[in-house]
A = this chain, B = another copy of it.
Amino acid sequence: MAVTPHGRTQTTLVVMPRRADSSEVRRNNLEVVLRQLAMSKTASRAEIASATGLTRATVSRLVAELLELRLVRESGRAGNQLGRPGTRLELDGRHVLAIGAEINVDAITAVVHDLSGAERARRRHAVDAAGLGPELSVRRLAELCGQTVADAVGPESSAGVSIAGIGVAIPGIVDSPRGVIVDAPNMRWREVPLGLMLRGAFAGLDAPIVVDNDANFGALAEYWCGPYAGTANLVYIIGEVGIGGGILVGGRLLLGDGGRAGEVGHMCVDPNGPLCGCGRRGCWEALVGLNAFLRPLGGSSDAHRPEIRVKPVLKRAMQGDRRVLDALDSLGAWIGLGVANIVNVLGPEIVILGGYFTDLAEWILPSIHRTLRERVMIVRQPADQLVAVSTLAFRGAAVGAALHAIDGVMSNPSRVPPPVPVLEPHAIAHAGAHR
């Protein structure tokens, strides 16, 4: 800051706009054509030109490149039409696969999606991530991923598939560019170089590996599919042992300085509240996390998947158990209070609840809605419509991780890795299975 002779503040308007260069324009145009085909399912070169505003000559050149890359195929195969401007084109994406995975406190998940975004297979197992530690957890995850790819490929395996990318979600603060878990308190993992460990476990694959926070990937999943797809200002809250938040602003993840945004679980909502796993008092997570909810009800042990752990409670709720019904009502009120805070601070169009909240939805939504009506400062729609329950249940983070890899192909189609043969699961989880 410069101060003028009169002691007044001298200001500088520092923000310079960016200019694009021509290689960027070429990559961008390839992306535009591929996304147009992904959206329209089938189109001719002429229709693509008309929809995108590109010239027909440019579209023909770009389509030739996408045909070469085997990301697009001609579907109108009548002999006299082949290659002509009127020939139908469609995405040729069944052999381009992305792996999305999640390691959480008591479960690991893997999903495989193809270039069209469609899910091709999924698997989910119980683990004790804190007990196993990072090394063994990564080995288990790599095996699960290998099996899930084998499920997805089925009898087509001999033709080979391209693994376009691997995304792995973690419940904690992740320095995604470095691939390091900074702190995942509920798994007691700190400063774990997960990216490097995954690179070892998937040594047979030449695919980009991205590690990020589970709620961030979950938010992307909600943005890319399901009833709220395309909602640019969206918050996703994942309810597990920990509570995380993924925040989309204008269709982009709010990462915060060093990936620290979205730690909504440690928002203090009651300075005199219960002790949190992080050692502080009255964190939101200490009131609405899975363990915080189950412990006073005598819930089952940590060695099972969350969807198994909540089953006895749901059964007691259905039998009209007053203690459980009161606990569910109180859980909803605390969820509502935290969601209201998030709405007042961020003003999103929708807050989507995932994880174990989805299983309890019908029991907790009434008190969530009541609290939102009381606590949200101002809304254009009824407060009830500010909150929704995810349709992806416990696999939101893994689905987001897979779709993030697919989005990477869409953004830069010329970077799809070459196909690898998939003979059996260990071909994928090579190093993970053998070291």
Tell me whether A319 is interfacial, beta carbon within 8 Å: no
Q: Which of A222-237 contact B (CB under 8 A)?
A: 224-227, 229-230, 233
Tell me whether A434 is interfacial, beta carbon within 8 Å: no
CA distance A432 to B12 in the complex (A): 32
CA distance A407 to B13 in the complex (A): 7
CA distance A53 to B20 in the complex (A): 11
Known contacts A1-B227, A225-B1; A379 and B260 CB within 8 A of each other: yes
Q: Are B117 and A271 in contact (CB-based, < 8 A)?
A: no
Find the B residue at minimum CB distance from A267. Answer: B341
Tell me whether A428 is interfacial, beta carbon within 8 Å: no
Give the interface size bracket for A toward B.
Answer: 35 or more
> Could you say which residues of chain B place their CB within 8 Å of the CB of A12?
38-39, 117, 224-225, 229
CA distance A20 to B342 in the complex (A): 35
Q: Are B14 and A226 in contact (CB-based, < 8 A)?
A: no
CA distance A380 to B249 in the complex (A): 24
CA distance A256 to B39 in the complex (A): 27
Q: Are B257 and A348 in contact (CB-based, < 8 A)?
A: yes
Q: Which of A110-166 contact B (CB under 8 A)?
A: 113, 116-119
Q: Are A173 and B378 in contact (CB-based, < 8 A)?
A: yes
> Could you say which residues of chain B place their CB within 8 Å of the CB of A337?
268, 271
> Could you say which residues of chain B place their CB within 8 Å of the CB of A317?
none
A283 to chain B, nearest CB (A): 9
Q: Are A19 and B119 in contact (CB-based, < 8 A)?
A: no
CA distance A53 to B225 in the complex (A): 41
Q: Are A270 and B270 in contact (CB-based, < 8 A)?
A: yes
CA distance A334 to B23 in the complex (A): 52
A345 to chain B, nearest CB (A): 6
> Could you say which residues of chain B place their CB within 8 Å of the CB of A250?
252
Q: Are B268 and A225 in contact (CB-based, < 8 A)?
A: no
CB-defined interface of A35-65 with B at 8 Å, one 1/0 digit per residue?
Answer: 1101100000000000001000000000000
Q: Are B9 and A225 in contact (CB-based, < 8 A)?
A: yes
A92 to chain B, nearest CB (A): 16
Tell me whether A295 is interfacial, beta carbon within 8 Å: no
Tell me whether A340 is interfacial, beta carbon within 8 Å: yes
Q: Are B263 and A377 in contact (CB-based, < 8 A)?
A: yes
Find the B residue at minimum CB distance from A380. Answer: B258
CA distance A415 to B114 in the complex (A): 49
> Could you say which residues of chain B place their CB within 8 Å of the CB of A340?
268
A318 to chain B, nearest CB (A): 25
Q: Of B9, B35, B267, B271, which contacts A345 at CB under 8 A? A: B267
A17 to chain B, nearest CB (A): 6
CA distance A375 to B280 in the complex (A): 7
Find the B residue at minimum CB distance from A121. Answer: B8
Tell me whether A182 is interfacial, beta carbon within 8 Å: yes
Q: Are A118 and B380 in contact (CB-based, < 8 A)?
A: no
Q: Kindly name the residue among A28, A118, A264, A392 whose own CB sees the greatest number of chain B CB atoms within 10 A.
A: A118
Q: Of B260, B349, B406, which contacts A378 at CB under 8 A? A: B260
Q: Are A378 and B268 in contact (CB-based, < 8 A)?
A: no
> Could you say which residues of chain B place their CB within 8 Å of the CB of A16?
32, 35-36, 39
Known contacts A9-B226, A261-B347, A266-B375; 16 further A-B pairs (Cβ under 8 A) = A1-B391, A9-B392, A11-B116, A12-B117, A12-B224, A17-B28, A17-B35, A255-B347, A257-B347, A260-B344, A260-B347, A261-B346, A267-B344, A280-B374, A280-B375, A345-B345
| Chain A interface residues toward B at CB < 8 A | 1, 4, 8-17, 19-20, 28, 31-32, 35-36, 38-39, 53, 113, 116-119, 173, 182-183, 224-227, 229-230, 233, 245, 247, 249-252, 254-264, 266-272, 278, 280, 337, 340-349, 374-375, 377-380, 391-392, 399, 403, 406-407, 410
User: Can you list 18 pairs linking A and B with CB atoms under 8 Å apart?
Assistant: A11-B117, A11-B403, A17-B35, A173-B377, A247-B345, A254-B346, A254-B347, A256-B347, A256-B348, A257-B348, A257-B380, A259-B347, A260-B343, A260-B344, A263-B347, A264-B345, A266-B377, A270-B272
